[in-house]
Amino acid sequence: MTSTLSVSDDVRTDDAVASERALPVTFESVTKSFGERIVLNGVDFSVRAGEVLAIVGPSGCGKSTLLRAVAGLETPTSGTVRIDSSPVTGLSETSAFAFQEPRLLPWQTIRRNVALGLPKGTGKAAGAAHVDELLEHVELSAYADHRPREVSGGMAQRASLARALARRPGVLLLDEPFGALDALTRLKMQDLLLDIHAKHPATILLVTHDVDEALQLADRILVLSPTGGHEGAGVANVIDVPGTRPRDRSSAELGALRSTLLENLGVDSHRH
What are the two backbone dihedrals, phi and then psi, of residue 29, each rounded to the nearest 5 degrees? 50, 50
5 inside domain: no
Q: For the residues 110-114, what does the mean pLDDT come to?
A: 96
pLDDT of residue 229: 52
3 inside domain: no
pLDDT of residue 11: 33
Per the DSSP assignment, residues forming a β-bridge with 96 are 172
pLDDT of residue 249: 80
7 inside domain: no
- Number of structural domains in the chain: 1
1 inside domain: no
Instruction: Tell me the per-residue pLDDT of 37-74, one tens digit each, with 9 for 90 and over.
Output: 888 989 999 999 999 999 998 888 889 999 999 999 99
Angle separating helix axes 153-165 and 124-137, nearest 10 degrees: 140
* 232 alpha-carbon distance from chain centroid: 23
Report yes or no: 230 and 38 within 8 Å, Cβ to Cβ. Answer: yes
Instruction: Tell me the per-residue pLDDT of 192-248, one tens digit each, with 9 for 90 and over.
Output: 899 888 888 899 999 998 999 999 999 999 998 875 555 777 887 899 998 888 788
Q: For the residues 93-99, what does the mean pLDDT come to?
A: 89
Strands 78-83 and 25-34 come out as antiparallel
9 inside domain: no
Lowest pLDDT segment from 24-33, 116-125, 196-205, 220-229: 220-229
51 inside domain: yes
What are the two backbone dihedrals, phi and then psi, of residue 267, each rounded to the nearest 5 degrees? -110, 140
54 inside domain: yes
pTM across the whole model: 0.86
In the predicted structure, residue 186 carries a pLDDT above the cut 60:
yes
Amino acid at 257: L
DSSP calls for 196-229:
HHHHS--EEEEE-S-HHHHHHH-SEEEEEPPP-T
Q: For the residues 184-194, what does the mean pLDDT come to?
A: 89
pLDDT of residue 19: 47
Which residue range is the domain that position 224 belongs to?
14-271
Instruction: Tell me the per-residue pLDDT of 147-157, one tens digit each, with 9 for 90 and over.
Output: 999 999 999 99
pLDDT of residue 20: 64
4 inside domain: no
* CATH number of the domain that residue 197 is part of: 3.40.50.300
